[in-house]
Amino acid sequence: MTDFAAARRNMVDGQVRTADVTDLRIISAMLAVPREQFVPPAMTGLAYLDLDLPVGAGARRLIKPMLLAKLIQAADLGPTDRVLHVGCATGYVAALLARFAGEVLALEEDTSLAETARAALSGQPNVGVATGRLTEGWPQAAPYDAILLEGAAEFVPEALFGQLKNGGRLVCVLGAGPAAKAMVYCRTGSEIGGRALFDAAAPLLPGFVRPREFVF
């Protein structure tokens, strides 16, 4: 039988701390939140491996712990920040964010995953789950201090920039394949500035895939 508490410690020590994640709030949250409760029962033994874990139908994944921790650290969250989490899947990341952000809105377009997330997060008073198209964000509750995409986008998610507060940050993986980069975009007034953080690879989120061109 898997010792999940020991597996969490090993995940943090072997994957997160070694990746220059120094924010103790992130480390504490990842030690506390049981990732095995956010994956299908058949996958619990794999919950703490360095993998993008399948959840639900199709190609949806919980992104690997190391990349996740680095993206959250790049969002530079404060204790009163309002965060939009795009592509919440089963709710694991929202559960982490809820431990050190002020308010989290978890957005999911797969209705089955959204219901799973609602059930998993039902005891979190500062987390809400919304169902809607990921590419549209959730303007009803905007603006946000930070937006985090749990997955990759093949194009800059410009449609979400208008939902950021002045000084707000959007963090995502941009691109597919070996050229993909973790990016942070910051809003200053009406201007958006972006910079690459590190090489990264993540599963593509629904709606953030470029239309494929036909080749004759």
User: Residue 149: what residue type?
Assistant: L
215 is a domain residue: no
Domain assignment present for 205: no
As a whole number of angstroms, the distance between CA 131 and CA 134 comes to 9
How much is the average pLDDT of 195-206? 95
Q: What is the pLDDT of residues 25-36, one digit of tens each?
A: 999 999 999 999
Bridge partners, residue 195, by sequence: 184
216 is a domain residue: no
pLDDT at 216: 52
For 102-118, what is each residue's pLDDT tens digit?
Answer: 999 999 999 999 999 99
Going by the DSSP 8-state scheme, the letter that residue 191 receives in this structure is: E
Residue 206 within a domain = no
Mean pLDDT of 49-59: 87
pLDDT given at position 213: 61
- The Cα-based distances of 15 to 18, 24, 32, 166 in angstroms read 6, 15, 16, 33
Owning domain of residue 16: 4-199
**CATH code for the domain in which residue 143 is found:** 3.40.50.150
Structure tokens given for 34? 């049981």
Domain membership of residue 15 (yes or no) is: yes
Q: d(Cα 50, Cα 19) in Å, to the nearest integer?
A: 12
179 or 106, which is more confident: 106
Look at residue 184 and tell me if it is in a domain.
yes
Q: How far is CA 106 from CA 95, 127, 142, in A?
A: 10, 7, 13
Q: Tell whether the model's pLDDT for residue 214 goes beyond 60.
A: no
In 4-162, DSSP assigns E strands to 53-54, 61-62, 82-86, 103-108, 127-131, 144-153
Number of domain units in the chain: 1
Closest by CA position to 7, among listed 42, 36, 29: 36
Between the alpha carbon of residue 23 and those of residues 20, 169, 171, the distances in Å are 9, 17, 16
pLDDT at 129: 98
Model-level pTM?
0.95
